Chain A
Amino acid sequence: MNPVKLGWMHLRISALNELQYRANFFLAAFNALLALATGLIVIGLVYSHTESLNGWSQPELLIVMGVHVFIGGLIRAFVEPNMYQLMQDIEEGTLDYTLTRPADAQLLVSVRATSIWQTVDLAIGLIVVAIGVVQLQTATTVAHVTAFILTILLGVVIIYCVWLMITTAAFKLIRVDNMVQMLQGIYQAGRWPVSIYPLWLRGGLTFIIPLAFAITVPAEALADRLAGSTIALAVAFSAVVMLVTRLIWRWGLANYSGASA
């Protein structure tokens, strides 16, 4: 069936589910504002000592931070809930039912769960990005915004794939909570543009846990720092990551033994 429709049906169901737990909204909003305040204070401190951080001005860094919050919100709202559910289903054997559905199993496990309240981060992230853009000295054109949207989409795809690949290891290892927590830790590194890190770490953050494509590249698009070749690289890279993820997913399914009755 149409993936968009399927995703929408599930989104609707899990939203209905989540709406029963209103307190979660206040919790998510409080968390998001706290994280934002800490981030702003740190940026403020850094720029009270210097004009630019490895070539990045304060408004540019605000954009990076906004994208970081935005993508983080997407991960927490749509990616992580599904990955935790998948992990739990593999451990408890409840994936059985999902696999008997006449729809693509990878699609099904990727759209089942949503933490709808985490979308508060999306709003906050976009506001921070907007403030950064307004403070920029240069004019922002339609081309910049288009490149931003395109690279954000590619970034989301790449992040989703990486998370799914790691979770798929649960087919073999059963418990992978630690790895997912590690991903959350590494994600914090995306708060800063990858170009400020030493070369070895930059490589890791670009191609192993590709935060560069998910966060720095979209921010670069808005800050007029993006080369066309980087977009091409992002497209090619996400295509490769999607293909590899698909293969790993298939391998995982073939290894699924289910928990015994």
Chain B
Amino acid sequence: MERPPVVVEELTKIFKVPVREAGLRESVKSLFKREHKMVHAVAGISFEVGAGEIVGFLGPNGAGKTTTLKMLSGLLHAESGKADVLGHTPWQRSKELLSQITLVLGQRQNLAWDLPALDSFDLNKAIYQIPTADFERRRDRFVEILDIGDIVTKPVRNLSLGERMKVEICAALLHGPKVLFLDEPTIGLDVTMQRRLREFVLDYNAVEHASVLLTSHYMADITALAERVIVIHHGKILYDGGLKVLAEEFGGEKTITVHAEAVPAAHDYGGVIEQTAVKLSIRVPRSDVASTTARLLNDMNVLDLSIEDPPIEEVIERVFATPKDEA
């Protein structure tokens, strides 16, 4: 079998950060004697990303997501462990590897501020040595899909955040990378723009059969793009598998909603989410779903009944609530 494009084994990154108490006295003291704390940003993680696979990388702020992406794109050296991206160790920064991957950081801008994006595209063409035919084909296609024909000729500083992100991601993919590291590419964008970018990533993934490792705090990004998620917390992997299975494993409860002719004011069916005279929403443990449903049907004149998994946001929140020593 072919080796997956991204293979990570026991990857670790430790940052040495200076620490001091607040206040002038402590500042002066730290001039002479600086105290450091070792922060295990990434603490021995292992995973693989297959060819053409889109994997969502989830975790709260400071979980180690960006650090991992930066190691995989060659920016940071790992403390220990192995990483293999397209057959290369990323932090050796071989040109062969760098010309086949891309890193998009939603919070950083990459394009020349005062120039139209088209000039920056040309610069990328030169740096990545993209053959003219490929370059023009991709550029024209991206411009069409993202609908940025008018935007690419304006200086980047005159663009809105959404417009800028569109040209940023366009610039980042012109060289046709096989592996994409996307770090919160939709941050700060409105819902329509987020959907646009998601569709663009999906299209690129389908056309170029590229692997994508994506972080986002918007669950809509993850559910739309990734079938598989890796949940990282305190630098360790808590979960690696299907998004659906995650909901089952960590979403220990289901939501039952009934519409009835009359809902009793007092009852012991389960934790109430919403209750009116004719509607009741309750949360019950997965194991009690069948018996509770039977009781509801028995006790009330039920007009409508639905059983749902909790929203994925809620599931993720439960996963993140895991205490550090259990992680």
Interface, chain A (partner B; CB < 8 A): 1, 5-6, 9-10, 13, 16-17, 20, 93-94, 96-97, 99-103, 105, 108, 254, 256-258, 260-261
Interface size on B, residues (CB 8 A): 35
On chain B, the residues within 8 Å of A99 by CB distance are 74-75, 93
A10 and B103 form a contact (CB under 8 A): no
On chain B, the residues within 8 Å of A100 by CB distance are 73-75, 98, 101-103
Q: Can you report 16 residue pairs joining A to B where beta carbons are below 8 Å apart?
A: A1-B129, A5-B126, A6-B127, A9-B122, A10-B123, A13-B112, A13-B115, A16-B115, A20-B114, A94-B109, A96-B75, A96-B105, A97-B108, A100-B102, A101-B128, A102-B128
A1 and B108 form a contact (CB under 8 A): no
A13 and B119 form a contact (CB under 8 A): yes
Interface, chain B (partner A; CB < 8 A): 15, 66, 70, 73-77, 93, 95-99, 101-103, 105, 107-110, 112, 114-115, 119-120, 122-123, 126-129, 183-184
B119 and A260 form a contact (CB under 8 A): no
A103 and B105 form a contact (CB under 8 A): no
| Distance, CA A16 to CA B122, complexed state (A) | 13
Q: How far is the CB of A170 from chain B (nearest CB, A)?
A: 16
Q: Return the chain A residue nearest B187 by Cβ.
A: A261
Q: How far is the CB of B52 from chain A (nearest CB, A)?
A: 22
- Beyond A9-B126, A99-B93, list 9 extra A-B contacts (CB 8 Å): A9-B127, A13-B123, A93-B108, A96-B75, A97-B105, A100-B102, A101-B128, A256-B76, A260-B66
- Smallest CB-CB A-B distances: 4 pairs: A102-B98, A102-B99, A102-B95, A261-B66
| Distance, CA A204 to CA B148, complexed state (A) | 56
On chain A, the residues within 8 Å of B96 by CB distance are 102
B108 and A96 form a contact (CB under 8 A): yes
On chain B, the residues within 8 Å of A257 by CB distance are 15, 76
On chain B, the residues within 8 Å of A256 by CB distance are 75-76
| Distance, CA A82 to CA B285, complexed state (A) | 61
A17 and B110 form a contact (CB under 8 A): no
| Distance, CA A17 to CA B123, complexed state (A) | 14
B128 and A6 form a contact (CB under 8 A): no
A261 and B127 form a contact (CB under 8 A): no
B129 and A17 form a contact (CB under 8 A): no
On chain B, the residues within 8 Å of A5 by CB distance are 126
Q: How far is the CB of B141 from chain A (nearest CB, A)?
A: 22
| Distance, CA A10 to CA B95, complexed state (A) | 19
B115 CB contact (under 8 Å) in A9, A17, A96: A17
On chain A, the residues within 8 Å of B76 by CB distance are 256-258
| Distance, CA A8 to CA B75, complexed state (A) | 26
B107 CB contact (under 8 Å) in A9, A103, A261: A261
| Distance, CA A6 to CA B114, complexed state (A) | 19
Q: How far is the CB of B177 from chain A (nearest CB, A)?
A: 10
On chain A, the residues within 8 Å of B119 by CB distance are 13, 16
A96 and B103 form a contact (CB under 8 A): yes
Q: A20-B114, A261-B183 are in contact. Are A103 and B75 (CB under 8 A)?
A: no
On chain A, the residues within 8 Å of B114 by CB distance are 17, 20
On chain A, the residues within 8 Å of B101 by CB distance are 100
Q: Return the chain A residue nearest B91 by Cβ.
A: A254
